[in-house]
Chain A
């Protein structure tokens, strides 16, 4: 990938993690309600075990994998990443997980695969938010294959050294630190490799506001607010704002993925 010298530790330099209670009590997970406090309040009833992931499409070893089987043999690492929501707030989260690339390698990428599509669990009896048609359930996200294989891209199974709380997307979620948070899909039950760009939930819902790429970009505003700066969650009432960094501070690592692309067009 031409990333000699890259190390996750370097990505974490100078980052102070957001307090754990903030990370686990301030969530956007509309399957459990639209208020930030709703997921922590309502996600406790989610059945996390057994959990399986259906891997299909252009893969060499498709099938329904028990979560443990999908992760067996892989080393869970800690990655301290910036997290930037499209709503212009930010956190720093110490995740635990495995590189998505390692999982993709395990299931085998078949010829012709160019994208990876993900789907969240659809289980209205345990996910009260799915009772209302505010989004086209199940939640869907996707990445270009090279983005999915990038060493920064993580399949997270924990945070702060513990299992993922359900409100943070247990038991398995995506973390793509240079993209707006909505790309980092939670509670994944399906991974499909495709030749064509897969439909993604927010992009379908409001294409003018949420692009497929959704790379953090202070120069491209959301139609209703600026993306030039962000509130730091956990910094208190008088915390003010900090400048948002291109690619959320991971420009060195990922800008090459988008060489020659118009990032205003492909927001």
Chain B
């Protein structure tokens, strides 16, 4: 595919750092709107929903990268770290909004939520699975762990995204198209990847 080769060579000159910059600027802007009362009368709810959805969307975007490469030859691998870290950043923001602004450090309620509500526990598990991935998303960790062990560790992405999509779906009051679509996309990507690996080998 000469067209794809040309696209890939163009992309080689596009750096990944703007992803971090855009994510940080977007988060700062939303927070500013919330602080100044421009996110509606329940800014906590808006920040919670938006950060969670964005984290899930970024996680799913991260999963599509290897599938895009194996199916249509589009090489976005160099952006995967930035996308993954951005996903973690929004997931962590989602958690902090819940902890600090929504439950406002009411520890009895927080601990009750974390110990008896599957909806909250599943979301927390997803975040905990993402934590070691975020911490090792640097070249030093890659060298230290070795490529194989690093890659094996990062397979945790798959259960993490699945749990995140599940958390989103069971968190809604009525089931609309979006949460179902996120879960379906996640499952599809989880199935697609090993299938594509087998086909190649």
Residues on A close to B: CB < 8 A? Answer: 18-19, 21-22, 25-26, 30, 34, 36-37, 87, 89, 132, 134-135, 205, 221, 223-226, 228-229, 231, 233-234, 236-241
Among residues 100 to 129 in chain B, which have CB atoms less than 8 Å away from a CB atom of chain A?
101-104, 106, 108-109, 112-113, 117, 119-120
Whether the pair A26, B41 counts as a contact (CB closer than 8 A) is yes
Interface of A (DSSP majority class): loop
Check: B194 CB closer than 8 A to any chain A CB: no
Check: B171 CB closer than 8 A to any chain A CB: yes
Check: B71 CB closer than 8 A to any chain A CB: no
Give the shortest distance, in Å, between A210 (CB) and chain B (any CB): 10
Chain B: how many interface residues by the 8 Å CB criterion?
A: 28
Interface of B (DSSP majority class): helix
Whether the pair A225, B113 counts as a contact (CB closer than 8 A) is yes
Check: B161 CB closer than 8 A to any chain A CB: no
Instruction: Report A-chain residues with C-beta under 8 Å of the C-beta of B135.
Output: none
Whether the pair A36, B104 counts as a contact (CB closer than 8 A) is no
**Could you jot down 23 A-B contacts, CB within 8 Å?**
A18-B41, A22-B41, A26-B42, A30-B174, A34-B176, A89-B42, A134-B175, A135-B174, A224-B119, A224-B120, A225-B117, A225-B119, A228-B109, A229-B106, A233-B42, A237-B34, A237-B43, A237-B44, A238-B101, A239-B44, A241-B102, A241-B104, A241-B106
- In the bound complex, how far is the Cα of B175 from the Cα of A239, in angstroms? 29
Q: Which B residue's beta carbon lies closest to that of A135?
A: B174
Check: B73 CB closer than 8 A to any chain A CB: no
Whether the pair B45, A231 counts as a contact (CB closer than 8 A) is yes
Given contacts A134-B175, A224-B119, A238-B101, contact A36 B106 (CB under 8 A): no
